[in-house]
Structure 1
């Protein structure tokens, strides 16, 4: 999770996303981009203007998306923007990850036509839900830092705004075909009717893409649709209705494998990693004796957005813009549930079990034949009692492994209104409101029984234990955005809870412009009300954390606000300077209001405090343009949850679960530079450099929980531990990493008319792994910090050629791109902190490391990184080619 007009097929003359914007300024330092200005003049979208809006900004147009994207993720086009790092995440379709100035996507405001799309419970943005944006985006603008948006949104790291095409574009259409590595195939068709004499216009698109990615067993299928209907009855009123969506399913790799597994399971057995390795799938033998692949991890979702925009030009000085929208999401993600008792007991006397990772073939895939055989005849999850002969105590165990699907559906409705008034030639102001209602559904269903004849649910306190016999196929796309829960209560397993969020806010802005000076002051206030509803607990009877709890918690209202301002001064026609400063009192996300997946309110709940300041300088001339920015952000009282964690307990046994960390303070500061140089009309160079210093200030507090929300004691008997983070570099917070130095250099050559050849070199350095609660509960870890990954360099190459027909409105465009041209091996992300000076508990042959030899002494290293680290390798060489026809 490509709709293109004529302008999209204009061959790009720039390469870096930053330079796209500045190249336009080179051509004319006074006249602004016409289509950008058109967007500014209607709607609630806040678009930064060069040499006027005092923020760091980069803009990429639809032509560059068409020319450069191929089979990359849309956000990867931003990798030549300062302080931006976008990777493919686990490597599945749409599973990309992005950081901006060291902040992850949940703290980057993602907007479509000015409408916020970050999840209202947790702030997350899953790009697989938005893959259709590449088809319909006419402009993508990235504002780093607090940005110019007037809304009360969490733009700590920056803002990404996708501006889609409107219905009143010129008449015409396009047919497009794309092919690439691993059976990538994309087809699309789009058409615009143009505006009629009575002011009506329409635009639509349909596209489909399918195939797999560079990673094993990552098949996918995705569609995109877009329809816009416009009506402009007169000069005062303009109505635009749009609906767009991208229903999709895709197999995933959600866990970062160990480096040693990449090497062990390489079929070439040449002691190098197999970058395509995926630990989250396997195969079984069907009734016909054929091997059939089966994914344990997959995602499926449909999140259409419907918007009705009304722009009312009241008079020459006043205008009201209103947007009504609905965004209902349906879908979820799969994974395993359950285990088998292995007949043994641990040192505490309780039974030990084997989860799905205990059943693997020699090639590293799941042995589903063995799992199916163990499940045969079972109603998985049915409890029974075993006795430990050592202590005579009885314990309850539940055998069976199935594939569950965790549903994360929602209904989201909102209204945005913005009133603008021009007081005089110098002053204008705007006021508005941003109001939303959100209801999320969270529960699990059976996705595949893995050979069992059913699954027994025992955790629902409101219903007696019941057997589930229906499985839900994730490959059936959810096209209906209006349906409620897809499964009745007696088919839900594991958990069932809902989240309800009521959001209302007001914002205002004052702007001053005179001669060379422009300035603004913005402010907003907001209330976020959170309610958690647990359908599996017994109202007024169930006890959690020593308290009697109810099915509904009631709303917890949290007040927040922000204030920011800035100024730009144009020294002359070439030079300008700007500065901005802001303060946010940001409400925490829902999982920190009700932590540990319980109905109990967080007793230490507090707003997160963010202070940010930035100064910048710009230079514009016909041949050379450049920008320099310096920034600093301090983020206090941050709360963080890390999922998919493996913990070693005091008795040296391991279990999986999640960690919750509170009291985090982060400092993000750095310098950014980008430039474009055009010595001739046939040659252009683009470059950027960014250096950051992101680190934790002071220590924090962490707690660990197993998958059933039971607190874990990682050492001794305490379930809470101090995390020694002071001065430790900021890495990621999940299976991702954050670089603190990036650079790129690109060139575009146009040797003849309509032919463009372009290439990019990109450098990524000072890359730091994610923090984890187990490592940093030890004070000694503070001195050595987080694991630093090897730096890497990548090269991309592309070409585009336009074939014109006699009719000027008709032409073909042929394009091709090769990514990672030299097939470089590199680690893009990591989630652990195992150092070469550490000693593994076991040797490669499975025996105990009684001599306590380190990874370095044993040779268990790869490019300076211990092989017991969980990492994600970047893709090797990939390619894509496109053919399109405009008419």
Structure 2
């Protein structure tokens, strides 16, 4: 027995010695190698990370065992090994991406709320980085969503970054925009200025549009929906990209980026820089913008991960801020053929031979964020993000003498004449303008200096809207069991908005006279301030000389939220609740004496919140149904708390109430997918402020109170893949959006002087400024490997003009003006060529042609001038409308007659006073005609 034991022991010892050897292999996903993947022998700390090409070599002292292969964003995989001789080659190990991966980004933090297919019960559309990079081209960032159900996107005036978006009939002030889980809607008015995010498309890896309630746990007011943007991260795959894009109207964009990938020490970095410039499609809309992104990451261990990002997009661009009448577009186009010049812009001209504009926007809004994810144990995870944003900039306009009556023969602004007038060298005989400028009696030199005041001379001012914004979102995610998950978190923000005007360009004058500061009246000012963005995000705005007004808005937000989620293979459901307190404080150093309590108010604190829930049931592997419902008590915006630009809290202040219900059905198969949604949203007690489009009250505004709306509709989104190389997509959305009951309004001039008030007869009037019916159909075809052709046609119908409040003060209004429908065709061609047959680096070529058929179309109207009927024309009632105070249309606006701008006969009116069924007195914006862009990109 003793000898047998010794022989056995000796044999096992020898076997153990010879079993020591090397395990080799390669880790990939469906796209290629995964450098930095973790390979660990199960039950030990013995492991390695894969190299650049995904390969690994691991020493083992055991002849058999199991490897655990893992990579962030991928499902871990266990692989058995058995060493024969001195090594074991496992070949290629393929990892499968987790369900929470969008494009190249991995959503590992619970701060970001991503809707998952066949699980999250909300209506959602997802667009990944490859599609954004290819199809967007030189278009604005929101335009990539133009083929999404119930989404309406326009370029507005056409300036760089001036586009806007509506979802389910709600404008972007009432659509929550989230970037990596951080809310970015302005804390005072809810606005999102896309020019501030002009470089967002460069760093976006995926974007989800969650229509309706959305899946965000925060107490945000996603009345129309949520745009959830996921950007690059520091631990993106190793590699880089260099690209250049050219396009119509001297468009030029250059970009370079590089990511280290996650290194063996856990560190990672990613950087991106780009520069964009051009003349703009619309006349007088030159622009220049940069974009930068810096990401740094550190995975301390598998339980602790830190990500820091800093991104910004400083830019300036000239705008078309004023919507001209159709008559003006035709006047400066081809009047004989009643053909408009859709590029016409009345805000610009030339000064000393260079393009110069009254309307110039300039801004820099960098955002820094620090994400920390702590995996406390297998069931609990704490995710936090701390962020700051520092916006600096504003937009310019005119002040002093009204310049709008002065135009050159081409309809441009005669800035050289204004400069000469301000310097006292103006000669009417050599003027550029059609009308001579006559000097006002109160324009006189002071101490030998020419002074431009509000009523004398011409000056370009800047309206500054800067801010300092800090916040944090912290979420604790706990798996209570295999089926239940509980989230609890807090959302805190603090914001200061700085609002004032300064002098940007004296246009030759020696100084500016201001008498608007009650604490420092009758000041002569001589400093001017640049209308270009500062790269320093901490520029001090407090010490600048201010004119016209100077007020600061303070907003504090404290929120708490919780969500309980239930999930099985068949059934998933959630219930969520959130509460928030917003505090609003106003400081006004011009309107009130320092001794006045209204100089700086106390915080007006208002509670709000929401509750929502939903359930999804997977009928089988192909079909699922879902339903959700929710109620919001939404705090009003800052200007509703302090209306009329004063520091007195509104007497009838109330929260807005939103009730939403939604049903959905989904179908999935290997060749066809479809989603069908039905929704109903009720919005009550809304406050709405809108500008007055009338030229007689330029820069004036309306305030409407107690506005109620109903938004309901159907959405169908489909994709089909009949062949491996062909994808077909389509969507149809039908909306029925209207006002429910009447409201009240007040009308003010630009100096906050009350001009009148009354009742708005809005009941059953269609919600305007949006197309209520849209559909599209498109296809992507890979003709040969690396060569792809895509086309898309989209159509907008039931397009209504913006509500002009003054037109609805009488019961005999005609409702909302219906604008002509339009359809647009876009084409694209992509070519990808690998540098060598087996290399991963490649050259990519892309050409886009938008509006291929060069369709001329109106995207929006600021006014509601209806085409006159024969009876109205003959009766001398002109446009058949009522002015804001109930009296009939003034004689100067009547159509019938022989005077200037009038028509002798009804047929003459139809021929010259109507364009495509729309009265030419309407103030409109046209969409762009045919445009193109071509890009070359090298990925390595």
Q: Displacement, 1:33? A: 5.9
Q: What residue is the counterpart of 1:595 in the other structure?
A: 643
**In structure 2, distance between residues paired with 1:464 and 1:830:** 40
Q: Displacement, 1:805? A: 1.6
Unaligned runs of 5+ in 1: 1-5, 9-27, 340-354, 387-395, 542-547, 649-653, 713-718, 732-736
Alignment of 1:266-305 (within 5 A): 266=333, 270-284=337-351, 286=352, 291-305=353-367
Q: What residue is the counterpart of 2:539 in the other structure?
A: 483
**In structure 2, distance between residues paired with 1:596 and 1:243:** 37
Cα deviation digits, residues 688-726 of structure 1 (max 9, x gap): 0000000000001111101011010xxxxxx21101100
Q: What residue is the counterpart of 1:821 in the other structure?
A: 852
Alignment of 1:311-390 (within 5 A): 311-339=373-401, 355-377=402-424
Unaligned runs of 5+ in 2: 1-29, 33-94, 426-436, 444-452, 869-877, 880-892
Q: What residue is the counterpart of 1:247 in the other structure?
A: 314
SS at match of 1:708: coil
- 1:135–1:486 distance in 2 versus 1, CA, 3 Å: farther
RMSD of equivalent CA atoms: 2.4
Q: Displacement, 1:851? A: 7.5
Q: Displacement, 1:132? A: 1.1
Q: Displacement, 1:852? A: 9.8
**In structure 1, distance between residues paired with 2:561 and 2:628:** 18
Q: What residue is the counterpart of 1:17 in the other structure?
A: none
Q: What residue is the counterpart of 1:345 in the other structure?
A: none
- 1:788–1:711 distance in 2 versus 1, CA, 3 Å: same
Alignment of 1:360-439 (within 5 A): 360-377=407-424, 398-439=455-496
Q: What residue is the counterpart of 1:525 in the other structure?
A: 579
CA contact (8 A) 2:896 2:904 kept: no
Residue in structure 2 matching 1:459, options 516, 530, 533 = 516
Q: What residue is the counterpart of 1:730 in the other structure?
A: 767
Q: In the alignment, is residue 699 of structure 1 matched against residue 752 of structure 2? A: no
Q: In the alignment, is residue 514 of structure 1 matched against residue 568 of structure 2? A: yes
- 1:597–1:101 distance in 2 versus 1, CA, 3 Å: same
**In structure 2, distance between residues paired with 1:864 and 1:365:** 28
Cα deviation digits, residues 220-275 of structure 1 (max 9, x gap): 00000000000001111000000000000000001111101111012686430111
SS at match of 1:663: strand
Cα deviation digits, residues 515-550 of structure 1 (max 9, x gap): 311000000000000001001134366xxxxxx652
- 1:183–1:38 distance in 2 versus 1, CA, 3 Å: closer
Q: What residue is the counterpart of 2:779 in the other structure?
A: 747
SS at match of 2:640: helix
Cα deviation digits, residues 713-755 of structure 1 (max 9, x gap): xxxxxx2110110000001xxxxx2011000000111111011
CA contact (8 A) 2:105 2:230 kept: no
Q: What residue is the counterpart of 2:431 in the other structure?
A: none
Q: What residue is the counterpart of 1:11 in the other structure?
A: none
**In structure 2, distance between residues paired with 1:198 and 1:858:** 75
**In structure 2, distance between residues paired with 1:483 and 1:367:** 33
Q: What residue is the counterpart of 1:389 in the other structure?
A: none
- 1:855–1:449 distance in 2 versus 1, CA, 3 Å: farther
Residue in structure 2 matching 1:497, options 551, 556, 562 = 551
Residue in structure 2 matching 1:779, options 811, 836, 844 = 811
Q: In the alignment, is residue 216 of structure 1 matched against residue 286 of structure 2? A: no
Q: In the alignment, is residue 614 of structure 1 matched against residue 651 of structure 2? A: no
- 1:857–1:873 distance in 2 versus 1, CA, 3 Å: closer
Cα deviation digits, residues 672-699 of structure 1 (max 9, x gap): 0010111111112111000000000000
CA contact (8 A) 2:688 2:704 kept: yes
Largest Rg, 1 or 2: 2
CA contact (8 A) 2:692 2:804 kept: no
CA contact (8 A) 1:337 1:403 kept: yes
Cα deviation digits, residues 285-341 of structure 1 (max 9, x gap): x3xxxx3321110100000000000000000000000111001100000011122xx
Of the structure 1 ranges 622-631 and 457-466, higher mean CA displacement relative to structure 2 is found in 457-466
**In structure 1, distance between residues paired with 2:333 and 2:96:** 55
Residue in structure 1 matching 2:843, options 795, 802, 812 = 812
Cα deviation digits, residues 606-627 of structure 1 (max 9, x gap): 0000000000000000000101
CA contact (8 A) 2:103 2:205 kept: no
CA contact (8 A) 1:456 1:467 kept: yes
Q: What residue is the counterpart of 1:22 in the other structure?
A: none
TM-score (normalised: structure 1): 0.88
**In structure 1, distance between residues paired with 2:252 and 2:904:** 54
**In structure 2, distance between residues paired with 1:487 and 1:611:** 46
Q: What residue is the counterpart of 2:823 in the other structure?
A: 793
Which structure carries more relative contact order (alpha carbon 8 Å, separation 6+)? Answer: 1
Q: Displacement, 1:43? A: 4.3
CA contact (8 A) 1:855 1:861 kept: no
**In structure 1, distance between residues paired with 2:642 and 2:905:** 43
**In structure 1, distance between residues paired with 2:129 and 2:194:** 18
Residue in structure 2 matching 1:563, options 591, 595, 611 = 611
CA contact (8 A) 1:645 1:659 kept: no
CA contact (8 A) 2:333 2:340 kept: yes
SS at match of 1:588: coil
- 1:385–1:369 distance in 2 versus 1, CA, 3 Å: closer
SS at match of 1:823: coil
CA contact (8 A) 2:104 2:129 kept: no
CA contact (8 A) 1:841 1:848 kept: no
